C-alpha cells in the first residue's frame, strides 16, 4: 500500500477518495443546516443536531471524517509543494488562462483558505458542543442559539461567506476531478458528473453562506 504515499498516481487516489467522502459529508451537513430555514426557532434543527451528537454510529463516522480530512490536507499540501518543484525556471508568459480554469490551477490556495476558515468554524461550533469550551450546549442555550449569537458579529458573517466562496470554487474543480482520478471518464456519464458537480458546487455553498447572512439580518430567529 506504500504506493498511496509514494507514487504520483497513488497520492492522487488518496486525494480523490478522501475528496469524495468529504463531498458526502458536506451533503449531510448542508441538509441538516438547511433545517434552520423552517424558521421554527431552531426546533427541527436542534433535534437533528442532537441526533448527530448523541449517536455512537455517527461519532465513529466522525473519527473517520477527521482522519480523511487530515489526510486530504496533508497529502494536498505535500502534492502542491512537490508539484511546484517540478519546474524550477518559470515561464515569462503564463498562458494558463487559455487552456484551463483559474480555480483548477489554484486548488492549493483555495484549500488553504478553506482550512483557515475551518479552524475558526470548528472553534465556533464543534469545540463548543463537544468539549464545552468556553461553555456547553444546553436546553436553554441550544446550538441554534449559539449560531444566532455568533452571526451577530458582521466580521464572522463575512468570514463565513468568504469560506463558502472558496469552497464553491474548490468543489467546481474537485467534484469532477475526483471522478477523473478514480478513472471514471465516459462519453455519457462524464458530462452528467460535470453538470452534477457544477450544481452541487453552487447550491451547497450557497445554502451554507445564506445561513449567517439571514441570521445576521434577523430574518431567522
Partner 1 sequence: MGNSMKINLKVWRQKNQNTSGSFETYSVEASPDMSFLEMFDVLNEQLIEEGKEPVAFDHDCREGICGMCSMVINGRPHGPKQGVTTCQLHMRSFKDGDTVVVEPWRSNAFPIVKDLSVDRGAFDRIISSGGFVSVNTGSAVDANSILIPKETADTAFEAATCIGCGACVSACKNASAMLFVGAKVTQLSELPQGKVERESRVVAMVNQMDAEGFGACSNTGACAAECPKEIPLSVIANLNREYYKAKLNGK
Please give the residue ranges that form the binding site for partner 1 (CB under 8 A): 3, 7-13, 79, 82-96, 98-101, 104-105, 107, 173, 176-177, 180-185
Tell me whether residue 13 or residue 215 sits nearer to partner 1 (CB atom).
Answer: 13
Nearer to partner 1, 70 or 184 (CB): 184
User: Three-class SS of residue 219?
Assistant: coil
**Minimum distance, C-beta of residue 23 to partner 1, in the bound complex (Å):** 15
Q: Return the residue matching grid coordinates 475528496.
A: 19
Output 39 or 185, the one with its CB closest to partner 1. Answer: 185
Residue 72 beta carbon to partner 1: minimum distance, rounded to whole angstroms: 14
- Nearer residue to partner 1 within complex by CB, 144 or 175: 175
Pick from 156, 152, 153, 167: which is nearest to 208 by CA?
Answer: 167
What is the DSSP-derived secondary structure letter of residue 90?
Answer: P
Shortest CB 16 distance to partner 1, Å = 9
Q: Angle between the 154-181 and 8-33 helix axes, to the nearest 10 degrees?
A: 130
Question: What are the distances in angstroms from CA 143 to CA 21, 66, 146?
Answer: 25, 21, 5
Count of Cβ atoms closer than 10 Å to residue 46 Cβ: 19
CB of 113 to partner 1, least distance (A): 17
202 vs 26: CA distance, rounded Å: 13
The owner of cell 453538470 is 195
User: Smallest gap, in angstroms, from Cβ of residue 18 to partner 1?
Assistant: 15
Nearer to partner 1, 182 or 214 (CB): 182
**Distance in Å, CB of 81 to partner 1, minimum:** 11
Phi then psi for 220, rounded to 5 degrees?
-120, 125
CB-nearer residue toward partner 1: 94 or 138: 94
Residue 135 dihedral angles phi and psi, to the nearest 5°: -150, 165
Amino acid at each position: 500500500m506504500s504506493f498511496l504515499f509514494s507514487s504520483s498516481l497513488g497520492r492522487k487516489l488518496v486525494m480523490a477518495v478522501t475528496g469524495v467522502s468529504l463531498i458526502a459529508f458536506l451533503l449531510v451537513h448542508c441538509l441538516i443546516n438547511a433545517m434552520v430555514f423552517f424558521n421554527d426557532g431552531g426546533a427541527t434543527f436542534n433535534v437533528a443536531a442532537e441526533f448527530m451528537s448523541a449517536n455512537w454510529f455517527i461519532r465513529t463516522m466522525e473519527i473517520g471524517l477527521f482522519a480523511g480530512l487530515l489526510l486530504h490536507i496533508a497529502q494536498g499540501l505535500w502534492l502542491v509543494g512537490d508539484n511546484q518543484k517540478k519546474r524550477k525556471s518559470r515561464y515569462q508568459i503564463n498562458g494558463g488562462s487559455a487552456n484551463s480554469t483559474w480555480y483548477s490551477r489554484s486548488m492549493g490556495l483555495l484549500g488553504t483558505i478553506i482550512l483557515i476558515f475551518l479552524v475558526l468554524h470548528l472553534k465556533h461550533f464543534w469545540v463548543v458542543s463537544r468539549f464545552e469550551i468556553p461553555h456547553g450546549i444546553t436546553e436553554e442555550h441550544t446550538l441554534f442559539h449559539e449560531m444566532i449569537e455568533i452571526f451577530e458579529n458582521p466580521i464572522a458573517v463575512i468570514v463565513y461567506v468568504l469560506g463558502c466562496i472558496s469552497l464553491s470554487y474548490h468543489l467546481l474543480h474537485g467534484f469532477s476531478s475526483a471522478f477523473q482520478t478514480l478513472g471514471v471518464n465516459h462519453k455519457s456519464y462524464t458530462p452528467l458528473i460535470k453538470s452534477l458537480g457544477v450544481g452541487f458546487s453552487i447550491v451547497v455553498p450557497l445554502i451554507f453562506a445564506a445561513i449567517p447572512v439571514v441570521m445576521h439580518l434577523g430574518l431567522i430567529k
